[in-house]
Amino acid sequence: MKKLAAAALATIAALSLGACNTPEDRALGGAGLGALTGAAIGAAATGRAGGALAGAAIGGAGGAIVGASTAPRCPYGTYRDAYGNIYCR
């Protein structure tokens, strides 16, 4: 039951990262989702901690690349406010 609860909490935390919009946020969210998925696949495939770590590293890198490249772009450009925050026009 503890494993199921931990997996459910990890899934909820990972899914909350998937709704980010800036390229940096999307890269972070993609890295988190990729690392969790890669660790699960690596652990299932090898049955060892080393496989889970390798899967997490590969999945995290791939998720960050895909997440950053799929971020929506602003069609009319961006602007910065007085605090340095970037907004779409």
Determine the pLDDT at residue 77. Answer: 80
Contact between 37 and 59 under an 8 Å Cβ cutoff? The reply is yes
Mean pLDDT per 10-residue section of the chain, whose length is 89 residues: 68 62 82 92 90 93 91 80 85
Q: Distance (Å, rounded) from C-alpha 64 to C-alpha 33?
A: 9
Determine the pLDDT at residue 56. Answer: 93
DSSP helix/strand/coil, 87:
strand
Q: Does the model's pTM come out above 0.95?
A: no
Contact between 45 and 89 under an 8 Å Cβ cutoff? The reply is no
The alpha carbon dihedral of 26, 27, 31, 34 has a sign of positive
Determine the pLDDT at residue 52. Answer: 92
Determine the pLDDT at residue 87. Answer: 83
Determine the pLDDT at residue 3. Answer: 66
